[in-house]
Structure 1
């Protein structure tokens, strides 16, 4: 199983998502700094962080649990993005862009989770790279 999370495409896309969230949340109102701005940023950072942490776990089962947590964070992030859109903090174009990245990460995480939970040890090594593309 690859232990170098930096080699996983899903980690790179998740980092891109977190970076974009930081950029777009800069425009949120200052009164949201300790509210939605903080929450959405922590959530976005959670995704690549859990991918990285899980990759360093001793078993595939542990790794898969961290991938499940990362996937849950993408759902939490989507909810926060919808709220930001409804409150007028994001325009439709920006929302579509970051939501698209979030969906892409969620799909990649689902594939990776499936590989980690079902494949034999030898097969996992081959399939993890493919699953995260």
Structure 2
């Protein structure tokens, strides 16, 4: 395995960040009445996935803290899946966009679970 010097080199971070940005741009077209409800929630949870990965990276010298923040990230990714389902059912996103984001977040979750199950691979 190659040495990773920055959290930005992690594939899980890259996908989480890219997905959060995709959601940000998509939600610009949501109805204005969703501003403080759905838009706020989905943007917050999607951004928290990447933000918690960043926090976990700095805590990797302490395996329990590392895993704790990765668990937070996993939880936020799962919440984002919920908001994506709501977005689809409300007609704010189409099936193809929904499925792509669902696949991306499921992939993020699987990478996070792998890191959670193998914290020693990541510690300093």
Q: Shared fold (TM-score greater than 0.5)?
A: yes
Match of 2:91 in 1: 88
Q: Is this contact kept in 2: 1:85–1:92, CA < 8 A?
A: yes
**Counterpart secondary structure, 1:96:** helix
- Structure 1 position 15, deviation (Å): 0.6
Instruction: Please report the RMSD computed on the Cα atoms of aligned residues, expressed in angstroms.
Output: 1.7
Match of 2:9 in 1: 7
Task: Please give the TM-score of this superposition, normalised by the length of structure 1.
Answer: 0.84
**1:18 aligns to 2:20 (yes or no):** yes
Q: Is this contact kept in 2: 1:2–1:55, CA < 8 A?
A: no
Match of 1:115 in 2: 118
Match of 1:45 in 2: 47
- Structure 1 distance, partners of 2:31, 2:100, is 20
- Structure 1 position 52, deviation (Å): 0.3
Gaps of 5+ in 1: 129-133
- Larger RCO (CA within 8 A; separation ≥ 6): 1
* Equivalences, count: 120
- Structure 1 distance, partners of 2:26, 2:37, is 15
Q: Is this contact kept in 2: 1:3–1:55, CA < 8 A?
A: no
Gaps of 5+ in 2: none
Match of 1:131 in 2: none
